[in-house]
Amino acid sequence: MNDYYSLGLTDTDRVNHAFGGGIPEGSIVLVEGVDGAGKSVLSQRIAYGVASEDAYVGYVSTELTAGEFIRQMHSLSYDVVDHLLSGKVLFLTADVDTHRNGDRRELLSRLTQPSLLWQGDVIIVDAFSAFLRNDPTFDAITGVGDEDHKMESVLTYLQGMTKKGKSVVLTVDPEAVTEKALLPIRSVADVFLQIETETVGQAIRRTIRVRRFTNMRDPVDDTIGFNVQQGRGMTVVNRTVA
């Protein structure tokens, strides 16, 4: 019998139900989507819901400062301040700009070092593709096609975390990295989600395609349509079960 990290908020939205009751413990969750697809909103919903269910979350963002994160969460009615103050959510900002003054920081090595981030039950890296794109060492091997070998060492670390029962959520923009870099992550991901968008008039339709969901507790929807609304957060609007 597997254990799960519930996404909570069952009285507020249908997200936890759509995802079969939660994320299995000890899983790698890959969330793919182009810029603006909704990867960060899904990550923020996961973080807030998991923390509301008394699990601990480590969240690293390559785009938001702590103040911006709090304001963004508040605009979605995810008032995360109490979770931050209680230590349920640890938020970190990652400076991944290595394109100045000959900066040679090995971002992936720094990310996969023991730190407070990895003490969480659920660790969210938003966006993992920004670490790949801006890591000088990874960038150097991209041109010669060795990305998959570098990724294997990163995934070894992540799998070491999942063996401890931790779940790791990685968001990736597939347009920002090569297919060869993505293939190893896709192959080991226990949960693989792809967010697609479609513009209809003034509105943007967002759909999560569930490509893989290993060790689900309850049936998981094959496709999950969702909206993002200020003051309401992420809401499921339609679902299809295969």
Q: Each residue of 108-166: pLDDT tens digit?
A: 889 999 999 999 999 999 999 999 988 888 766 666 666 777 788 899 999 999 999 99
Q: Which pLDDT value is given to residue 145?
A: 64
**What pLDDT is attached to residue 1?**
43
How confident is the model at residue 204, as a pLDDT?
83
Place of tokens 């019998």: 1
Grouping H, G, I as helix, E, B as strand and the rest as coil, residue 1 is: coil
Q: Is 23 helix (H, G, I), strand (E, B) or coil?
A: strand
pLDDT tens readout for residues 11-70: 999 999 999 999 999 999 999 999 999 999 999 999 999 999 999 999 999 999 999 999
List C-alpha distances in Å: 62 to 16, 72, 79, 101, 200: 26, 14, 21, 19, 30
Average pLDDT over residues 185-194: 96
How far lies 159's CA from each of 26, 136, 189, 190, in Å? 8, 24, 10, 11
Q: Which fold has domain 4-100+113-240?
A: Rossmann fold (3.40.50)
Interval 69-88: pLDDT, tens: 999 999 999 999 999 999 99
The domain ranges of the chain are 4-100+113-240
Sequence-ordered list of residues with C-beta below 8 angstroms from that of 207, at least 6 positions apart, any chain = 195, 196, 197, 198, 223, 224, 225, 226
